[in-house]
A and B are shown apart, each in its own frame.
Chain A
């Protein structure tokens, strides 16, 4: 497969995530769309790492494939930590306002 199809798929998933963040009001769905965006970036990183594996770059720097896949691993690590803290915040928000609507956060203004 050429790299363009992978870039197209990753861009489509990323834009779907953005539409989800802009369109929905439920904070849990917004959080899930952020995870969708992170996964689209992971897919693109792995696709590029395999593209460079076959090219001349791999002879010059033999670690170029493993570097990208280790980076994807660390992105997953950070996403897992972020999900645990974010869900704790959402649960506390629900406990105080009994809703998961992000528009209710306007009350924090005053």
Chain B
């Protein structure tokens, strides 16, 4: 087994374990921390495939901004394990069974169609570097890029409007 394969299996095992702990943790803060570990392992996978720009953007945007926002909200609400709402056992069991069935169906679909053993090009290829991605982004995809800035503006305005305290309508 080459070092690339060993790294792939280690990162995959860590990602799956942390994802299961996200779902199974009683304390919401622990779930957020495990999700940050998942994001770091997925960035590790991106680096293995030489998609360097996406690896860095994943860490900065997801683990660095979105999860910090989640942590702010959880700390604001002062959630801990004691005040965690629980679903009853039957619904939890049913949810687990449905997710497991979906997993089985998708894995069966993969193995049925897996006659072409296509290899993923790991640690090679320079299409994922910032220079090449930047060229494509600003030449072919400049209009979606500008529209995404409008999207961010509307999301910011929406978040502020939703979060404003109603001072005159409660009397």
CA A20 to CA B65, docked complex, whole Å: 22
The binding surface of chain A is classed by DSSP as helix
Q: Is the CB of B102 closer than 8 A to any CB of chain A?
A: yes
Q: Give the residue name and chain of the B residue nearest to A39 (CB).
A: B42
Contact of A70 among B86, B96, B141 (CB under 8 A): B141
Contact of B99 among A15, A65, A76, A89 (CB under 8 A): A15
**Contact of A3 with B119 at beta-carbon distance under 8 Å, contacts A19-B96, A24-B87 already known:** yes
Q: Are A23 and B28 in contact (CB under 8 A)?
A: no
Please, how many residues of chain B have a CB less than 8 angstroms from a CB on the other chain?
A: 83
Number of A-B contacts (CB under 8 A): 229
The binding surface of chain B is classed by DSSP as helix
CA A36 to CA B86, docked complex, whole Å: 21
Q: Are A84 and B159 in contact (CB under 8 A)?
A: yes
Residues on B facing A (Cβ under 8 Å)? 4-5, 8, 12, 15-16, 19-20, 22-23, 28, 31-32, 35, 38-39, 42, 45-46, 49-51, 53-54, 57-58, 61-62, 65-66, 69-70, 73-74, 76-77, 79, 84-87, 91-92, 94-96, 98-100, 102-103, 106-107, 110-111, 114, 117-122, 125, 127-128, 132-133, 136-137, 140-141, 144, 148, 151-152, 154-156, 158-160, 162-163
